[in-house]
Amino acid sequence: MRKNINLSLALVLSLCVAGSAPARVRPGVRPMPMPGGRKPAPVDPFKTVQGAQLVFTADLKSAQAGPVAKSMPPIYMHKLTLVVKDVLRGDVKPGDKLTLNHSARQIMKPTFPVGQVCLVTASKSRGHTVAKFVAKADADLMKTARAAASLPLGWSKKGAKFVSPWADLGAGAWPKAAKPPKGATVCSVTGRPAMLVGAGVSMKVEKVPPVKNVKWSNPDGDGEYTIIITNETDKPAKVPALLSDDKGVLWNESLVILCQGKARPVPGAKGVKAAPKTTVLKPNESITTVVNTFLLKNIRWPRGGYRVEFQFCLGELSKTKSFYYRSKHHDPIRAAAVAKLLK
């Protein structure tokens, strides 16, 4: 047997030398970077704060290291203990004591300025609040953070100009006759002013129950969500971010969805055609609408089964929903919804 193997090897070698069967050399495999060899990518503070559901400063009391996922880059887990000081956005309150999970997928192990006042951004989803960004709250960072948090969610900044999520609708997104309030920040593309909700008004988002529950396929429904806006006070409440006309509330021209790093108007937005009105809610009044996320464009829908995160926004208010998408079940439902819209 060994003699036959040696003869075969000799034959192959002779053919390679003769040029009849040129040897194929596999390219060298570049070694994976080792932990500690590279710094994490720089963070854009304005963008990070602008899209955050919760923004606040807090005393960082401790940062307890947890398990490390052995991926490449690794995922470092920490448990942070904080005491809230100043709230820039969200429903936390000064003095709240929070214990938040934090995960970072990067080469280097993250460090935290324990004992310092920090700027924190966080998100609430599936019953948990998770810290996204934590950094010492120095003067420059806080100046940027306050500017970003003063804008409605979904707005961006290009140089010295601001851009709203309706910019892709072009000049027809906002009527020229509707003059913005004096001193208001306006979208450099559409002229639409930045409008917030204001105090005393809350937002809830609930899944629409599916027509049929399918085990392991649609625990979060079939793509539709009910948006609920409520006046929590016993007095009428003006909601500048929620537009109206003589026919009713202009939901499509008011709501925004953040998904996969991009802010989008909700499906059906076509632009405000005439000078809109501010919606006024009666004492303790709630109003609702339904949004079908399957009609969103340019979304990377998973193959197989995976989660897609939607952040529903109105002015400075937002709620995040983690949606389990199973392609075998949801692809035909999504295709039918799109086909119905195009009829």
**DSSP assigned state of 1:** -
**DSSP assigned state of 172:** G
331 and 239 share a domain? yes
272 and 134 share a domain? no
Whether the Cβ atoms of residue 226 and residue 202 lie closer than 8 Å to each other: no
CA-to-CA distance for 339 and 37, rounded, in angstroms? 50
Looking at residue 10, its pLDDT comes to: 43
The boundaries of the domain holding residue 228 are 195-342
Looking at residue 17, its pLDDT comes to: 37
pTM assigned to the model: 0.86
141 and 244 share a domain? no
316 and 246 share a domain? yes
Residue 38 inside a domain? The answer is no
Residue 252 inside a domain? The answer is yes
253 and 136 share a domain? no
CA-to-CA distance for 188 and 167, rounded, in angstroms? 8
What strands lie across the sheet with 237-245, from one edge to the other?
Answer: 248-249, 237-245, 277-281
Residue from 220, 205, 214 nearest 323 by CA? 220
Residue 316 inside a domain? The answer is yes
- CATH number of residue 86's parent domain: 2.40.50.120
113 and 245 share a domain? no
| 286, two tokens | 């709630």
Longest dimension (CA), the chain: 98
241 and 323 share a domain? yes
Find where tokens 């799109």 sit. 338
Looking at residue 141, its pLDDT comes to: 97
Residue 180 inside a domain? The answer is no
| pLDDT < 50 stretches in the chain | 1-37
Question: Over the stretch 79-127, which tens digit does the pLDDT of each residue have?
Answer: 999 999 999 999 999 999 999 999 999 999 999 999 999 999 999 988 8
203 and 282 share a domain? yes
200 and 131 share a domain? no
- CATH number of residue 236's parent domain: 2.60.40
Number of domains in the chain: 2
Question: Over the stretch 309-336, which tens digit does the pLDDT of each residue have?
Answer: 999 999 999 999 999 999 999 999 999 9
251-277 as b/e: b if 16+ CB within 10 A: bbbbbbbbbeeebbbbbebebbeeebe
Residue 158 inside a domain? The answer is no
CA-to-CA distance for 89 and 261, rounded, in angstroms? 19
Which of 150, 185, 207 is the last residue in one of the domains? 150
| 98, two tokens | 């929070």
Residue 18 inside a domain? The answer is no
Phi first, then psi: what are they for 109, rounded to 5°?
A: -65, 130
Residue 23 inside a domain? The answer is no
Residue 185 inside a domain? The answer is no
Looking at residue 19, its pLDDT comes to: 42
209 and 335 share a domain? yes
Question: Over the stretch 238-253, which tens digit does the pLDDT of each residue have?
Answer: 999 999 999 999 999 9
Looking at residue 41, its pLDDT comes to: 65
